[in-house]
A and B are shown apart, each in its own frame.
Chain A
Amino acid sequence: GESVGLHLPTLSVQEGDNSIINCAYSNSASDYFIWYKQESGKGPQFIIDIRSNMDKRQGQRVTVLLNKTVKHLSLQIAATQPGDSAVYFCAEKRGGNTDKLIFGTGTRLQVFP
Chain B
Amino acid sequence: EPEVTQTPSHQVTQMGQEVILRCVPISNHLYFYWYRQILGQKVEFLVSFYNNEISEKSEIFDDQFSVERPDGSNFTLKIRSTKLEDSAMYFCASSEAGKGNQPQHFGDGTRLSIL
Chain A contact residues, CB within 8 Å of chain B: 1, 3-6, 31-32, 34, 36, 41-46, 49, 51, 89, 91, 93, 97-106
Q: How far is the CB of B104 from chain A (nearest CB, A)?
A: 6
Q: Is the CB of B41 within 8 A of A5?
A: yes
Q: Mark B96-115, 1 if CB is under 8 A from A, else 0.
A: 00110101111111010000
Q: How far is the CB of A5 from chain B (nearest CB, A)?
A: 4
Q: Which of B35, B43, B103 has the most A CB atoms < 10 Å from its CB? A: B43
Which secondary structure dominates chain B's binding surface? strand
Q: Which residue on chain A has the smallest CB distance to residue B40?
A: A5
- What CA separation (Å) do A20 and B20 show in the bound complex? 40
Q: Tell me which of B39, B40, B56 contacts A99 (CB under 8 A).
A: B56
Chain B contact residues, CB within 8 Å of chain A: 4, 6, 31, 33, 35, 37, 39-45, 48, 50, 55-56, 58, 89, 91, 98-99, 101, 103-109, 111
Q: Which residue on chain B has the smallest CB distance to residue A39?
A: B108
- What CA separation (Å) do A106 and B42 show in the bound complex? 8
Q: Is the CB of A105 within 8 A of B42?
A: yes
> Could you list 11 A-B pairs, sorted by A, with CB under 8 Å?
A3-B43, A34-B103, A36-B106, A46-B105, A91-B43, A98-B56, A99-B99, A100-B33, A100-B56, A101-B35, A101-B104
Q: Which residues of A contact B56 (CB under 8 A)?
A: 98-100
Q: Is the CB of B40 within 8 A of A102?
A: no
- What CA separation (Å) do A1 and B91 show in the bound complex? 9
Q: Is the CB of A3 within 8 A of B103?
A: no
- What CA separation (Å) do A104 and B42 show in the bound complex? 7
Q: How far is the CB of B55 from chain A (nearest CB, A)?
A: 6
- What CA separation (Å) do A48 and B104 show in the bound complex? 11
Q: Is the CB of B43 within 8 A of A46?
A: no
- What CA separation (Å) do A42 and B91 show in the bound complex? 10
Given contacts A51-B101, A99-B56, 14 further A-B pairs with CB under 8 A are: A1-B91, A3-B42, A34-B104, A42-B109, A43-B6, A49-B103, A97-B99, A99-B50, A99-B99, A101-B35, A101-B104, A103-B42, A105-B42, A106-B42
